[in-house]
A and B are shown apart, each in its own frame.
Chain A
Amino acid sequence: EAQVTQNPRYLITVTGKKLTVTCSQNMNHEYMSWYRQDPGLGLRQIYYSMNVEVTDKGDVPEGYKVSRKEKRNFPLILESPSPNQTSLYFCASTIRTGRIYTQYFGPGTRLTVL
């Protein structure tokens, strides 16, 4: 079954404690992205990756890092989390058809930073 998986699904942590949210896709897609979802703001892109070892900033990259060492994995790293990073995070995997990029989302990770 084609899918995007994220772990953990729920995480409560404290300010400054480094954490990593993992994302994996089994569709051999080249493109992957991270979004955060906040009430009234929709989904905003944090980082995206065009292929292994190729990443770039989205609209709200501050306070986040990513890496793409393997095609299937795209972890999101918060080196020093702060309360304003409390949010619902989604990983997305993207298939390209011509000039159209269709994104498929994971189930989400709800992060609370105290």
Chain B
Amino acid sequence: GENVEQHPSTLSVQEGDSAVIKCTYSDSASNYFPWYKQELGKGPQLIIDIRSNVGEKKDQRIAVTLNKTAKHFSLHITETQPEDSAVYFCAASRGGGTSYGKLTFGQGTILTVHP
């Protein structure tokens, strides 16, 4: 089955700096890669996703890149703000077939943005 590795497990940055979180996956058939943000006491919230036919996607201060050959994808947050502090999860999914889009998650990254 799919295996997703996420690094780093913790990340501390100063406000205004950039943050990068990296994930690798094992199943070359995976075609959908969402990122979730989880704030304390809340469920994971989808913040951005990318499909396998796209190499990069941006949404304001957040961007995700995908390298299918190397089987890794990354989350980039620019101009970080204290409210970006949360746990971030990457995930991978095959979509379609009998998997019904089951998500395999990375272990999570605790991001702390210091004012």
Query: Which residues of A come within 8 Å of B, CB atoms?
Result: 4, 31, 33, 40-45, 48, 50, 58-59, 90, 94, 96, 99-108
Contacts and interface: CB of A to CB of B under 8 A. Distances in A.
Which of B4, B41, B100 has the most chain A CB atoms inside 10 A of its CB?
Answer: B100
Contacts of A106: 43
Contact of B102 (A58, A90, A104, A107): A58
Interface residues of B, number: 27
Contacts of B49: 102
Given A50-B100, A107-B42, A108-B42, A101 B105 contact: no
B108 to A, nearest CB: 6
6 contacts: A31-B101, A33-B102, A40-B107, A43-B44, A43-B105, A58-B102
Contacts of B43: 4, 90, 105-108
B100 A101 contact: yes
B46 A104 contact: yes
Nearest to B49: A102
Contacts of B95: 99-101
A77 B20 CA distance: 39
Contacts of B96: 99
A103 B45 contact: no
A45 B103 contact: yes
B101 A43 contact: no
Nearest to B32: A100
Given A45-B102, A48-B102, A108-B41, 20 more contacts: A4-B43, A31-B101, A41-B107, A42-B6, A42-B107, A43-B44, A43-B89, A44-B105, A48-B100, A94-B100, A94-B101, A96-B101, A100-B31, A100-B93, A102-B34, A102-B101, A104-B46, A105-B44, A108-B42, A108-B43
